[in-house]
Amino acid sequence: MATFGKESGLGGAESSCTTPLTTPMATPVSTRSVKWEKDVEDVAGDLHRPLLYKRCTNTTSQMAIVGANTCPIESLDYEVVENDVYKQDWRSKGKLQVFQYQVLKWVLALFVGLVVGLVGFFNNIAVENIAGFKLLLTGNLMLQNRYVAAFVVYICCNATLAAAAAALCAYIAPAAAGSGIPEVKAYLNGVDAHSILAPSTLLVKILGSILGVSAGFVLGKEGPMVHTGACVASLLGQGGSRKHGLTWNWIRYFKNDLDRRDLITCGAAAGVAAAFRAPVGGVLFALEEVTSWWRSALLWRTFSTTAVVAMVLRGLIDYCRSGNCGLFGKGGLIMFDLGSRQATYTATDLAVVILLGILGGLLGALFNFLIDRILRVYSLVNDKGARYKIIMTVIISVVTSCCTFGLPWLTSCTPCPPELARKCPTVGRSGNFKNFQCPPGQYNALASLFFNTNDDAIRNLFSAGTDGEFGVSTLLTFFATVYTLGLVTYGVAVPSGLFIPVILSGASFGRLVGTLLGSVSGLDAGLFALLGAASFLGGTMRMTVSVCVILLELTNDLLLLPLIMLVLLIAKTVADCFNKGVYEQMVRMKGLPYLDVHAEPCMRSLVAGDVVSGPLISFSSVERVGAVVDTLRHTGHNGFPVIEDPPFAPAPELCGLVLRSHLLVLLQGRIFTRRRVKTGAAEVFRTLAPFDFAKAGSGKGLKVEDLDLTEEEMDMYVDLHPITNRSPYTVVETMSLAKAAVLFRGLGLRHMCVVPRTQGRPPVVGILTRHDFMPQYIRGLYPSELPR
């Protein structure tokens, strides 16, 4: 076994179970170090602290999933391992098997769309019925003038639902808390955080989202639907769950990170399509926001998945509109048919829209700033244990219930418009003009927004031809309350999305601006609400194309395209001057080692050889079994260079790269020889099949502790040629670190070998992994290059 330098980082030595996940830089030590082990001890105490403190237990806060000592972060390997096993496997496949593989890709993608569509429908029908029953029960008590009893029932129902959702997250699946979009975004970037796509996470995500939304929180199920879609796709891509007794052997073709990534991309797009009934918007959301890598074939497959979702939802909603689904049917999913009164607009209208975009960008940036500070405080509370998470969730629920039930009492009743005598007031059903405590013939404007589900409140704000329904004081009160509640709610231990709070805040603010400037602009108040929602989405999430298409699919009005594009671009441009998008902030706060599309400026003044560190652990092409086992036991590296040395080569040269998982399978097969000779791939295939080297599901792979080798076997030799990737990606040590980072991210790599520029040196200088491109690691090496 040759030793040249150390393979560093999350891609190679993915942090052990004693390494806090919030520290994406385990051992930032330069190759210039003289005493490596001492340097590790000295530097470890001076690391730049991550945004989250070191934790001892997993949490369910929005920063939950990282910051725990109990589960390491692993990198994903999207590179095709072209070793002899892989080549022999493809050579042995006939045309029928290749065709079967291609067909199964499409079948799985379509099946993901079917399942996610059904889950989305189930979520909505459950929320509409649970929340509707709660509101009907409270409303009936109010019709009997039993206001105190109504308040007690209302607050108890909400608190019970909130406590149930928090308990599920706290005790069963901490990874289900929050929206899940940052985790999916990181996964598709190549980061595998613990349990984010587990079956238990999927179950709690669905149930917790239903309970949380039904509890009246200012949150939505749209963000969690993205995570749900990714979990469904991961479960299908792994062939089920062996732990829970659900497996399909025919799915073995997809037991690799590359195919799973494609399927999870389809699942994330399907989640958006199911949440908003926007199939094209779902594809664009996956392309713009969550994926780090894309190709044309994936575009077609993702679009097919979202098309299936749209068809499933359309058929089921049409069925429910006949009254077969309880209280669900008339409202359905978020679908706002906004009929703008005029298709044209003047220069004055454009000036007002520009103003709305600027204000939306400013308020969106402020939202991101405040939520960053609030989540830091929540993390300290959540660190104290599951009981405190549930208590905090119930407290927020009680505060929300007091606001939604109490604030409408502060506003006076408004007489119903004569032309809407049949529709006003609304009693015992969803819609505008809520009666609340008002006498017959009058309605409570604030109750029309507060005493409703979030989806109905947005419909009321978006409704056209209702310019006089909500006054300035009503809209201002609702905006301030929703904006504040959205901040304090996001981060509690329930599955929660930001789409609905942002749309509610933006719609109320836009309608407020439209009401104040109604004498200047001729645009409809409902249109102002839509543009306000667009400006807030652009200001907080910094998405443009996908949000634009989603809003167009929601409103079913193509004439609004220029105005939506204008307000989105302005809001995003203004907000980018202050901070990053909310999901980028969440990824950073969680400590996930995410690789940005643009390299840090300091990387342009560094080269690849500046960040590799040592000693690097490598194997000879025919290695002693005991040396391999000892290395696997005492290191956490997942990739090792293989060196071809005499007598198999005239001088040491790089043979390739071998993975830990493949080494374990080969050792388990006991294909050993007493002398140091090549055995070849044929000997491997006599004992092992190609699918034995396929990646197992989460937590199912072989571990070095599973090996039971005798002393005699430990002194034997094993040929690594059959499982060595003969064509690893390599860069010369003088390559710009920025260029290497772009290649690493674009190719979806886990390991990148650094080779010397001159001859006469060891064939490998080191290995670049995800860890080596992290700004924190570079800062530890060169503080002057990347100041804090």
Tell me the C-alpha to C-alpha distance, in Å, between residue 193 and each of 21, 66, 537, 649: 9, 7, 27, 41
| pLDDT of res. 533 | 94
Mutual angle of helices 95-143 and 296-319, in 10-degree steps: 40
Mean pLDDT for 674-699 is 81
| pLDDT of res. 334 | 52
Mean pLDDT for 606-615 is 86
Tens-place pLDDT, residues 324-345 = 777 765 544 555 555 544 557 7
Residue 41: band (very low, low, confident or very high) from pLDDT cuts 50, 70, 90:
very low
pLDDT of 193 strictly over 50: yes
Residue 437: band (very low, low, confident or very high) from pLDDT cuts 50, 70, 90:
confident
Place of tokens 């070095």: 704
Of the listed ranges 164-168, 239-243, 510-514, the one predicted with least confidence:
239-243
* CA separation for the pair 660, 649 (Å, rounded): 24
| pLDDT of res. 14 | 39
Residue 4: band (very low, low, confident or very high) from pLDDT cuts 50, 70, 90:
very low
| pLDDT of res. 13 | 35
* CA separation for the pair 68, 21 (Å, rounded): 6
pLDDT of 86 strictly over 90: no
* CA separation for the pair 100, 110 (Å, rounded): 15
The answer to whether the CB of 5 falls within 8 A of the CB of 31 is yes
Residue 67: band (very low, low, confident or very high) from pLDDT cuts 50, 70, 90:
very low
Tens-place pLDDT, residues 628-665 = 999 999 988 889 999 998 888 888 999 999 999 999 99
pLDDT over 90, % of the chain: 44
- Cis check: omega of the bond before 425, within 30 degrees of 0: yes
| pLDDT of res. 10 | 37
| pLDDT of res. 25 | 34
pLDDT of 42 strictly over 70: no
HEC sequence for 105-153: HHHHHHHHHHHHHHHHHHHHHHHHHHHHHHHHHHHHHHHCCCHHHHHHH
Exposure string over 524-561, b if 16+ CB within 10 A, otherwise e? bbbbbbbbbbbbbbbbbbbbbebbbbbbbbbbebeebe
59 vs 186, more confident = 186
Tell me the C-alpha to C-alpha distance, in Å, between residue 649 and each of 120, 394, 622, 645, 762: 59, 69, 12, 5, 14
Residues 6 or more apart in contact with residue 101 via CB below 8 angstroms: 93, 253
pLDDT of 186 strictly over 80: yes
| pLDDT of res. 239 | 61
Closest CA to 781 of 536, 558, 613: 613
Tell me the C-alpha to C-alpha distance, in Å, between residue 523 and each of 151, 388, 459: 39, 48, 18
| pLDDT of res. 54 | 31
Q: List, in order of start, the domains of the chain with CATH numbers.
A: 1-73 (no CATH), 101-321 (1.10.3080.10), 350-407+464-589 (1.10.3080.10)
| pLDDT of res. 69 | 30
Tell how strand 619-620 and strand 639-644 pair up: parallel
* CA separation for the pair 302, 291 (Å, rounded): 12
Tell me the C-alpha to C-alpha distance, in Å, between residue 669 and each of 663, 666, 685, 743: 10, 5, 10, 35
Mean pLDDT for 755-762 is 89
Taking the CB of residue 689, how many other CB atoms lie within 10 A of it? 12
Angle, alpha carbons 310-313-315 (nearest 5°): 105
Average pLDDT value over all residues in the chain? 82
| Element housing 295 (H / E) | none
Of the listed ranges 438-447, 569-578, 752-761, the one predicted with least confidence:
438-447
Mutual angle of helices 561-576 and 545-555, in 10-degree steps: 140
pLDDT of 12 strictly over 50: no
| pLDDT of res. 571 | 97
| pLDDT of res. 250 | 56
Closest CA to 768 of 758, 760, 780, 778: 778
Taking the CB of residue 380, how many other CB atoms lie within 10 A of it? 12
For 733, the token pair is 């040590």
Residues 6 or more apart in contact with residue 158 via CB below 8 angstroms: 134, 215, 216, 397, 398, 400, 401
Closest CA to 7 of 771, 589, 632, 784: 771
Ordered DSSP codes for 608-643: GGGT-BSPPB-EESEEEHHHHHHHHHH--BSEEEEE
pLDDT of 771 strictly over 80: yes
Tens-place pLDDT, residues 464-501 = 777 777 889 999 999 999 999 999 999 898 999 899 99
Tens-place pLDDT, residues 411-430 = 888 888 776 666 677 765 55
| pLDDT of res. 343 | 55
Residue 715: band (very low, low, confident or very high) from pLDDT cuts 50, 70, 90:
very high
